[in-house]
Amino acid sequence: MKLKKGIPVIDQGNKLGFWGGKFGGNFVPETLKKPIEDLEVLFNKLKKDKKFIQERDKYFKNWIGVPTRFIKLENLTKHVGGAQIWSKVVSDANGGAHKVYNATVHCLLAKRSGKKVICGDTGAGYAGKMLSMAAKKFGLKCKIFMGAKDIARQQPNVKAMKKNGAEVVPVYSGSQTLVDAVSECMRFWVANCDTAAMCVGSTVGPAVFVRICGWSTSQISRELKVQLIDEFGSIPKKLKLYNCVGGGSSSFGFWNEFMDYDKKQCEFIGVEAGGPAKSKKHAAPLTYGSKIGILHGAAQYVNQNSDGQIEETESISAGLDYPGISPLHCFLKDTKRARYTAASDEQALNAYKLVTKFEKLRPSLEPSHAFAVAISESKKFSKDTIVVVNSCGDAYKDRGILEKRLGKKYVKSN
């Protein structure tokens, strides 16, 4: 299995949509074959269409507010005493997270295909919030599927979705989290694919959704590349890009433009959710060596039992609480381009405490996982090492959990 240079990773799949010959694909009911094929044709055409790119860039700039900041975390760097720690503050984006890129592109595609309704899944609520925002902006009716457990723990985002006029459909099946929300959203699309468009909230699902999402979030690394050159004159000799990985949309977007660099110069570190320290459950299929299986239309490493039933996950972070992982990351793991590890709930909370103590930045629980590993590894790195952590979400949505776990002062002081 080999990563090709000079070809975008999203376009490195084979005819049937498999990366490395075995990850991804289209394991979908017959009913979805046609709508997926239609979407593929449309996307392949539009991603080469200059006018469409201009339109996308216009909305990215004027509405999402790109570029997001690239800042040095001076105090944290001093405290840790190793590598220089920087952050790409993607949570600056309109709505407070990277999910807005994919949501915007899906709404633009839906408009082009004449669909009136757009449905989407959400875990942490960001994908849903952004989709509801974009749908409102582009005049589409919006339906969001969300696990009942997530609805309870991510209330601020649920309120935002409703305020944007979206219908939030609670999903009570299975573990009542993201995995069930995606299943229910796919079911809705099976029954309504003639009138509705579907937005999969991450780089997961049938191949075309993986590609669209990766294409959309790649905005992050396009900006970062420019910002790095502005700051250092060239791409640093020792660059390490840390990102949390749930479905894998922000990390893929954070790394994409640096794919062709040697990994000795530019290393990618994906941090999965290890779950509570005392629990055997986790959401880290790459770190803990889960087997390949099929989930939501794609072959991927996925937590499952020997029979092939998908296993329940556990994580403090709703956005990372997913048993599978993008086929793109499976491909990056097996080609050894990226390195994957996990942080526990407790490690993420400690990292949140540390970051907010030293910096005017409040990463949500998802990027706090990435900070946990970045901080602990930075101690060992030389001073000319540039560590960049993607702070891809804002902690506003987590205030309930943070208050409960860390006490009121961690919510109020921010």
Partner 1 sequence: MLNPISVAFIKAKQENRPALLTYTVAGDSSKKQSLNILKSISKNADILELGVPHNTPVADGNQIQTSAYRAIKNGIKVNDIFKIVKDFKKFDKNKPVILMGYYNMIFQYGENKFLNKCKLSGVNGLIVVDLPWPENKNFAKKCKKKSIYFIQLLSPTTTKIRLKKIIKDAHPMSYFISMLSTTGGKLKVSPKEIIKNYIKIKKINPKKKIVIGFGITEKTIAKLKSADGLVVGSAICKEISRSLKHRQNPVTNVSKLVKKLKYKIV
Nearer to partner 1, 230 or 307 (CB): 307
List the one residue from 3, 19, 20, 26 that touches partner 1 (CB under 8 A).
Answer: 26
* Stretch near partner 1 under the rule CB under 8 A, chosen from 40-48, 105-113, 287-295, 392-400: 287-295
Nearer to partner 1, 67 or 285 (CB): 285
List the one residue from 140, 193, 220, 355 that touches partner 1 (CB under 8 A).
Answer: 193
HEC string of the chain equals CCCCCCCCHHHCCCCCCEECCCEECCCCCHHHHHHHHHHHHHHHHHCCCHHHHHHHHHHHHHHHCCCCEEEECHHHHHHHCCCEEEEEEHHHCCCCECHHHHHHHHHHHHHHCCCCEEEEEECCCHHHHHHHHHHHHHCCEEEEEEEHHHHHHCHHHHHHHHHCCCEEEEECCCCCCHHHHHHHHHHHHHHHCCCEEEECCCCCCCHHHHHHHHHHHCHHHHHHHHHHHHHHCCCCCCEEEEEECCCCHHHHHHHHHHCCCCCCCEEEEEEEEEECCCCCCCECCCCCCCCEEEECCEEEECCECCCCCECCCCCCCCCCCCCCCCHHHHHHHHCCCEEEEEEEHHHHHHHHHHHHHHCCCCECHHHHHHHHHHHHHHCCCCCCCEEEEECCEEHHHHHHHHHHHHCCHHHHCC
Size of the site for partner 1 (CB under 8 A): 36
What is the nearest approach in angstroms of partner 1 to the Cβ of residue 196?
10
List the one residue from 69, 111, 141, 187 that touches partner 1 (CB under 8 A).
Answer: 187
Best CA proximity match to 327, nearest among 4, 5, 6, 21:
21
What is the nearest approach in angstroms of partner 1 to the Cβ of residue 153?
21
Distance CA 200, CA 162 (A): 19
181 binds partner 1 (CB under 8 A): no
* Stretch near partner 1 under the rule CB under 8 A, chosen from 63-71, 185-193, 260-268, 398-406: 185-193
Distance CA 336, CA 353 (A): 32
What is the nearest approach in angstroms of partner 1 to the Cβ of residue 283?
15
146 binds partner 1 (CB under 8 A): no
In the numeric block, the tokens 């070809």 are attached to: 7
> CB of 129 within 8 A of CB of 159?
no
326 binds partner 1 (CB under 8 A): no
What is the nearest approach in angstroms of partner 1 to the Cβ of residue 140?
19
42 binds partner 1 (CB under 8 A): no
281 binds partner 1 (CB under 8 A): no
List the one residue from 2, 33, 78, 336 that touches partner 1 (CB under 8 A).
Answer: 33
310 binds partner 1 (CB under 8 A): yes
Cα within 13 Å of Cα(119), Cβ side: 21
21 binds partner 1 (CB under 8 A): no
25 binds partner 1 (CB under 8 A): yes
In the numeric block, the tokens 């381009």 are attached to: 337
What is the nearest approach in angstroms of partner 1 to the Cβ of residue 41?
12
| Side chain identity, residue 55 | E
294 binds partner 1 (CB under 8 A): yes
296 binds partner 1 (CB under 8 A): yes
53 binds partner 1 (CB under 8 A): no
List the one residue from 142, 179, 220, 325 that touches partner 1 (CB under 8 A).
Answer: 179
113 binds partner 1 (CB under 8 A): no
7 binds partner 1 (CB under 8 A): no
Nearer to partner 1, 125 or 297 (CB): 297
What is the nearest approach in angstroms of partner 1 to the Cβ of residue 314?
16
List the one residue from 201, 248, 285, 293 that touches partner 1 (CB under 8 A).
Answer: 293
186 binds partner 1 (CB under 8 A): yes
List the one residue from 309, 380, 412, 413 that touches partner 1 (CB under 8 A).
Answer: 309
- The site for partner 1 (CB under 8 A) is made up of 16, 25-35, 173-174, 179-180, 183, 186-187, 190-194, 291, 293-297, 304, 306-310
